[in-house]
Structure 1
């Protein structure tokens, strides 16, 4: 980024902040603040260990400083502006989740467009919210969802039940959402001793936990498979069951018999319903559930009680997009390339220079590929490309 581009962006970021009324996070004065200015050179300089008292009025600070990035801490402290960290006297922290589109297993940052990456990230966000609602019992009032302005989304959990959780407890939450550490279906079952059943000694009965969590996800798949088998021709159903590893002709026939003649046992989560084949099938359905339902959150963000996170309402210095807080009912329809474009950059056109052709994808109203050279573009597009290092501001 050359000096002309840097000063242009700095000035326009300042114009945005003059027009904005940015809300403070809860307990703002107990949090550490940090920012990255528009500095010369290829690197960036983080200025942190600031309290809100150090910054003064937030709106005035943003207008005067025009930072490239703005952050506040997940943690709350007695003395947030001091250093080192241990002298701040930690009180507790929000539970924060970070989803980055270019870190998702089904995204190729080299091949997928920015829009495709963010679409995949929204899918992951919805899965994460499912975990937080269904598995952990948080309601929408306790969850703050934010488009990061860059590669994905942040979710802040703010409730007394999580504030004082340490790193180890937060890591357990991460592992649960990732489906890590549950490598055996036995972890999702309950075992009880039952008498009779034609035996001279008591026997153990294994039942899948179906009331929630990963057990419910496996059970949902088991029930769906049973329903599919029931509606298929026998030959096709047998073939469908044989597609699972370790399920041969005999095992498929046993499962088919159970699913069509005694489906209530499957619906009840009975893992002994088809002998040794039911747990073998359930194990593979669990692995499928982890592959499809787990959420690849950024573990260091969630486990770090001192983490700095982007300020909603600020601008992301790597895209020029708005760090956008979202109501839960807005998430499905949210389009970052329309809804996170600052109004400051919507109405004007500017000249930019590009050394290489740029596959724009979609920002604002423009959806074209920009060839190398000097071009007039919508300002939101120009700011996006300049902030990402794909273009420079052309001389007037």
Structure 2
């Protein structure tokens, strides 16, 4: 059956929250801190204007959602002493928001603002790379992967990053997604920032992402300061990157044009994730287990990202019942 990503009707929302939604599907990392989080709701499809909601326990949250059957439900990444007033900030999750419709170089034929199985798979590949960097380079392990409905949220709750400032979060994001052009004259990368150390070997991580981006370019791709001739040459010579032969690739492109390309790739990579979400200490995110009503998909905590398929694991029953 082909899944049509169209908005859910009010009747379909009612059926979902009455028959399918279960508060037990809300992740433990949210329930365990429920009294410290702000919740927000969109009841009419116009944005989350019902904010500053708090709940003392999962039962009260369940009752509210069962009655209201919201168009969308959200909760804060921040923990507060007084979440109802958003006062007394304590700490926040570090978040990477990868939306399939906003991937800078997509390999599908979707129109602007649309998503399909191909670009959703591309988004999944990206979050797998992000998870690997967080694990391998930073040693972070409390990483929760959530399918948001049109992409993925990577939600990190390791204590090492929970109290990080917005500036430090921005630096971490730049490292993780290869969005800062490395200094090609040395291999030091970032140094110690506040109390958190961003690993050495930054050029390696950058080339990992640069390779990903360059291998996804097409003849119609547009990059700042990269003309059509350079793009054609990149496409012609990029087979060297499949064998990690960066030296041959760089030599054939030429050092000046290579530097221009690398600068353009760094700017492209900055759009891989929504950095504004990552640095916002008071951001609210879609509540896992609830309905993304614009596309009739469930926001879902992912137990195994390797095998997760949104078109099998995040489709509400009412979608299958549509005629």
Q: TM-score, normalised by structure 1?
A: 0.59
Give the superposition deviation at 1:229: 11
2:111 paired residue number: 110
- In structure 1, C-alpha distance between the alignment counterparts of 2:200 and 2:17, rounded to whole Å: 52
Does the C-alpha gap of structure 1 residues 160 and 284 become closer, same or farther in structure 2, counting only changes over 3 Å? same
Structure 1 position 315 matched with structure 2 position 318: no
2:36 paired residue number: 30
2:104·2:271 contact (CA, 8 Å) conserved in 1? no
SS at match of 2:144: strand
2:17 paired residue number: 14
Q: TM-score, normalised by structure 2?
A: 0.71
Give the one of 309, 313, 334 matched to 2:308: 334
Structure 1 position 173 matched with structure 2 position 147: no
1:79 paired residue number: 82
Does the C-alpha gap of structure 1 residues 292 and 57 become closer, same or farther in structure 2, counting only changes over 3 Å? same
Does the C-alpha gap of structure 1 residues 318 and 219 become closer, same or farther in structure 2, counting only changes over 3 Å? closer
1:269 paired residue number: none
**How far does the alpha carbon of each residue in 1:244-298 deviate from its partner, in whole angstroms, 9 at most, with x for none?**
2149xxxxxxxxxxxxxxxxxxxxxxxxxxxxxxxx98x6896698589877110
Does the C-alpha gap of structure 1 residues 66 and 174 become closer, same or farther in structure 2, counting only changes over 3 Å? same
- Please provide the CA RMSD for this pair: 3.8
SS at match of 1:130: helix
Give the superposition deviation at 1:133: 1.3
Give the superposition deviation at 1:103: 1.1
**How far does the alpha carbon of each residue in 1:120-172 deviate from its partner, in whole angstroms, 9 at most, with x for none?**
11111111112211222112xx10000002x2000111021111111111111
Q: Which moved more, 1:298-307 or 1:23-32?
A: 23-32
Q: List gaps (5 residues or longer) in structure 2.
A: 1-7, 190-198, 212-238
Q: Please show how residues 1-396 of structure 1 align to structure 2 within 5 Å.
A: 6-17=9-20, 21-23=24-26, 24=28, 25=30, 26-37=32-43, 39=44, 43-44=46-47, 46-53=49-56, 57-82=60-85, 85=86, 88-107=87-106, 109-110=110-111, 114-139=116-141, 142-149=142-149, 151-188=150-187, 212-215=201-204, 218=207, 242-246=251-255, 296-327=272-303, 330-342=304-316, 344-345=317-318, 348=321, 350=322, 377=323
SS at match of 2:254: coil
How many residues are treated as equivalent by the alignment? Answer: 272
- In structure 1, C-alpha distance between the alignment counterparts of 2:75 and 2:117, rounded to whole Å: 27
Does the C-alpha gap of structure 1 residues 17 and 58 become closer, same or farther in structure 2, counting only changes over 3 Å? farther
2:177·2:206 contact (CA, 8 Å) conserved in 1? no
Q: List gaps (5 residues or longer) in structure 1.
A: 191-209, 231-237, 248-279, 351-376, 378-396
Does the C-alpha gap of structure 1 residues 287 and 182 become closer, same or farther in structure 2, counting only changes over 3 Å? closer
Does the C-alpha gap of structure 1 residues 19 and 347 become closer, same or farther in structure 2, counting only changes over 3 Å? farther
- The structure with the largest alpha-carbon Rg is 1
Does the C-alpha gap of structure 1 residues 114 and 47 become closer, same or farther in structure 2, counting only changes over 3 Å? same
SS at match of 2:123: helix
Greater RCO, CA 8 A, separation 6+: 2
- In structure 2, C-alpha distance between the alignment counterparts of 1:229 and 1:133, rounded to whole Å: 22
**How far does the alpha carbon of each residue in 1:60-100 deviate from its partner, in whole angstroms, 9 at most, with x for none?**
21111111111110100011012xx4xx1101111111001
SS at match of 1:106: coil
1:177·1:295 contact (CA, 8 Å) conserved in 2? no
SS at match of 2:292: coil
